Amino acid sequence: MWENELFFEAVPLLLEAFIKVTLVVTVLGTLIAVVLGLVWAIAVRELPPLLAAPLRFLVDFIRMTPLPVHLLVIYYAFNSLSAMTVGILVIGVHYSTYMAESYRAGIESIRSGQWEAATALSLPASRTWRAVILPQAIRNTLPSLGNWAIAMFKDTPFLIFISVPEMVTRAREFGGQHFTYVEAMTVAGVLFLLASYPTAVLMRKLEKKLAY
């Protein structure tokens, strides 16, 4: 049976876990993923085939294997790192491979004539990327990157595999203490919704604006 008292009792506990763990992991993981994903995308395109092929395989391997497996392997392989640090790094690297695909699509959407014009003007490769390609490619990929950040946010409960006390873990513990899980899990769901829905709306508006 639903108990309002338990619902409101769970709110400050889960809100604290959300701010101190879930939000921190999402923000720092997103920063890692955004930067590293761009590095993956440019490196695979620019490196010689002998180096690009194994790098592409690595990116595909990370993207196509489950996040919980990555968390457990890195957590036990590098036991000198805190679980929170492992969570941030692993989630960031894992989602960087998805963002790399978004960057790749954005880069490939640039018309070949712009590459040819940069070559005709004898622009160095670094200037071509910085002044011509990346401003357009990143603009085209911003909505997609935002969607991956939302997906990362919703995947933070996987941190339970390495005992990071994120919001859903706290909700489960709270439910176990009071022998009912509905109220605490409802609070967790509401917090997820309140955090992700405005971001999703913003991404849709941004996508429509950039389409013109």
Which pLDDT belongs to residue 203?
A: 78
Range of the domain at 95: 4-210
What is the CA angle 92-99-49, rounded to 5?
105
CA atoms of 33 and 98, how far apart (whole Å)? 9
**Residue 18 has what DSSP assignment?**
I
CA atoms of 117 and 83, how far apart (whole Å)? 49
For residue 83, give the CATH number of its domain.
Answer: 1.10.3720.10
Radius of gyration of the chain (CA): 21
Asked if the model's pLDDT at residue 181 lies above 90, the reply is yes
Q: Among 152, 149, 145, 151, which residue's Cα sits nearest to residue 206?
A: 145
pLDDT tens digits for range 42-94: 999 999 999 999 999 999 999 999 999 999 999 999 989 999 999 999 999 99
| pLDDT tier for residue 210 given thresholds of 50, 70 and 90 | low
Cβ contact 210:143 at 8 Å:
yes
Q: Which residues contact 135 (CB under 8 A, 6 or more apart)?
A: none
Which pLDDT belongs to residue 111?
A: 84
pLDDT tens digits for range 152-164: 999 999 999 999 9
pLDDT tens digits for range 110-146: 888 888 888 888 788 888 888 888 888 888 898 889 8
Q: Which residues contact 96 (CB under 8 A, 6 or more apart)?
A: 32, 33, 34, 35, 36, 37, 40
Three-state SS at 101: helix
Q: How many domains does the chain have?
A: 1
Which pLDDT belongs to residue 212?
A: 53
pLDDT tens digits for range 15-27: 999 999 999 999 9
CA atoms of 38 and 140, how far apart (whole Å)? 13
CA atoms of 204 and 208, how far apart (whole Å)? 6
